[in-house]
A and B are shown apart, each in its own frame.
Chain A
Amino acid sequence: MAHIPDGVLSAPVLLAGAAVSLAGCAYGLRQLAAERIPQVALMSAALFVAALVHFPVGPSSVHLILNGLAGILLGWAAFPALLVALLLQAVLFGFGGLIVLGVSVMNMALPAVLCRALFVVMSRSGNRRRTMIAAGLAGGVGVMLTALLVSLALALSGQEFAAVAKLVVFAHIPVAVIESIFTAAVIGLLLRVKPEVLGFTSTEVRDE
């Protein structure tokens, strides 16, 4: 559902999406340190595979997005990671069109960057439980913001916003719940085994 096929969106929306995604990718790559490239590649592969996991919801089917997790781990580098993952999904599996790629990347990467900000603010204390709650929140918020952006893109292209938004947003509630739990679990695991990935030194993580 987060993948929009070609021919649905209007030209201004396509251009805006492409511009935002291009800028985001450029910025993400510019501030990406070489030693973090393998991490970005692994996350990109995870994003690529996540979208292949479909669940039936009502008449439609939805899939994992994992953009909240990508945002927490990658920050602005979520833009290039999502670009690569979505490009391959479009080419190999026909998920979404190639022309709408810019819009799709924007729809998933902008929430990712926002999730990163949310996570950083909420987890500053290094408290383990607070950090995991922040991760769960980021995982859910990432999905719901993406659903909202998809609805918005469709609405700006002439579809009626309320009807579309209701459909897209409701369909993504189960995804948001699943990703919320999944993201919290992944971050909890990382806190335990590799806190430096999240920007903590191991002494900073506290249980209380």
Chain B
Amino acid sequence: MSNHALRLVILAVGLLVISEPAWSHKLKVFAAAEGTHLVGYAYFSPSGRPRQAAVTVTDADGNVLATATTDDEGRFEVEAKRRVDHHITVGGGDGHVATYTIKADELPDHLPPSPPTSLPPAGEGSKPSPIATVSPALPTSEADWRTFIDQSIARQIRPLREQLDAYQEKIWWHDVLGGIGYILGLGGLAFGLSERRRWMDASPSAVAGRNRS
């Protein structure tokens, strides 16, 4: 009977060890808008890429805008047809899910805004974006090109800067907690050392005896 139990335990531990990588990995997605194409890849943290994983792109209301599957390197590419927030969800099919959002601001201005193009533009309830309705005239002079490029770059790096800000905020809290930890640790160390000194002063023979054994 105990033999059976032992076997069960070994089996359970073995299964845990084998399946451990599956849940120690965290699936993550990164994507960026390159023109109207949303290009990105899914990856496991710390390493690995999901193959043939389903990629679903939805808007803010959950309507499916596009679907795709990742290639053998975990990469995918879908086309954005509207200038709305794109929520990219990659599901590995085994319980791993990760999402990444590309904001409408990151997409080119000439894409139609919120409501689908198939709908008549009249009677739309959503906020029309004035920028998006103006068709972008290509810059002519060199100065115009410069401003055009500056604007594009600014738009592209804004999410990065937002992310950096959020990250800095997080680091700040970690530093606060770390500092408190340092101080309490130092206090503990000081307390331990002073206690040990007192104990050694009280009974040197006891310490010597313990060291010998």
Q: Please list the residues of chain A having a beta carbon within 8 angstroms of any beta carbon in chain B.
A: 34, 37-38, 40-42, 44-45, 48-49, 52, 84-85, 88-89, 92-93
Which residue in B179, B190, B194, B198 is a CB contact (below 8 Å) of A88? B179
B183 at the interface (CB under 8 A from A): yes
Minimum CB–CB distance for A73 against chain B, Å: 14
- 5 closest A-B pairs (Cβ-Cβ)? A41-B187, A34-B194, A37-B191, A88-B179, A92-B175
Chain B residues closer than 8 Å to A42, beta-carbon distance: 184, 187
Q: Are A48 and B179 in contact (CB under 8 A)?
A: yes
Minimum CB–CB distance for A138 against chain B, Å: 23
A38→B186 CA distance, assembly (Å): 10
Which residue in A34, A45, A52 is a CB contact (below 8 Å) of B183? A45
Which residue in B179, B180, B194 is a CB contact (below 8 Å) of A37? B194
A77→B175 CA distance, assembly (Å): 25
A40→B194 CA distance, assembly (Å): 14
Interface string of B177-203 (1 = CB under 8 A from A): 011101110111011001100100000
Q: Are B187 and A38 in contact (CB under 8 A)?
A: yes
Q: Are B180 and A48 in contact (CB under 8 A)?
A: yes
B206 at the interface (CB under 8 A from A): no
B6 at the interface (CB under 8 A from A): no
Minimum CB–CB distance for A29 against chain B, Å: 8
A109→B188 CA distance, assembly (Å): 22
Taking A41-B190, A48-B180, A84-B186 as given, write out 12 further A-B residue pairs in contact, using a Cβ cutoff of 8 Å, ordered by the A residue number: A37-B190, A38-B187, A38-B191, A40-B187, A41-B184, A42-B184, A42-B187, A44-B183, A45-B179, A92-B175, A92-B178, A93-B175
Q: Find the residue from B184, B187, B195 having the highest chain A CB count within 10 A.
A: B187
Q: Please list the residues of chain B having a beta carbon within 8 angstroms of any beta carbon in chain A.
A: 175-176, 178-180, 182-184, 186-188, 190-191, 194-195, 198
Q: Are A44 and B187 in contact (CB under 8 A)?
A: yes
Minimum CB–CB distance for B197 against chain A, Å: 9
Chain B residues closer than 8 Å to A38, beta-carbon distance: 187, 191
Take A34-B191, A38-B191 as given contacts and tell me if A84 and B183 are in contact as well, using a CB distance cutoff of 8 Å.
yes
Q: Are B188 and A41 in contact (CB under 8 A)?
A: yes
A85→B187 CA distance, assembly (Å): 12
Minimum CB–CB distance for A106 against chain B, Å: 20
Q: Are A85 and B194 in contact (CB under 8 A)?
A: no
Chain B residues closer than 8 Å to A41, beta-carbon distance: 183-184, 186-188, 190
Minimum CB–CB distance for B22 against chain A, Å: 38
Which residue in A45, A52, A89, A92 is a CB contact (below 8 Å) of B184? A45
Q: Find the residue from A37, A38, A89 having the highest chain B CB count within 10 A.
A: A37
Which residue in B179, B186, B190, B191 is a CB contact (below 8 Å) of A92? B179
Minimum CB–CB distance for B194 against chain A, Å: 4
A92→B172 CA distance, assembly (Å): 9
A49→B182 CA distance, assembly (Å): 12
A48→B179 CA distance, assembly (Å): 8
A44→B184 CA distance, assembly (Å): 9
Chain B residues closer than 8 Å to A88, beta-carbon distance: 179, 182-183
Minimum CB–CB distance for A195 against chain B, Å: 23
Which residue in B175, B182, B186, B198 is a CB contact (below 8 Å) of A34? B198
Q: Find the residue from A42, A49, A88 having the highest chain B CB count within 10 A.
A: A88
Minimum CB–CB distance for A56 against chain B, Å: 18
Q: Are A52 and B176 in contact (CB under 8 A)?
A: yes
- Chain B residue at minimal CB-CB distance from A81: B183
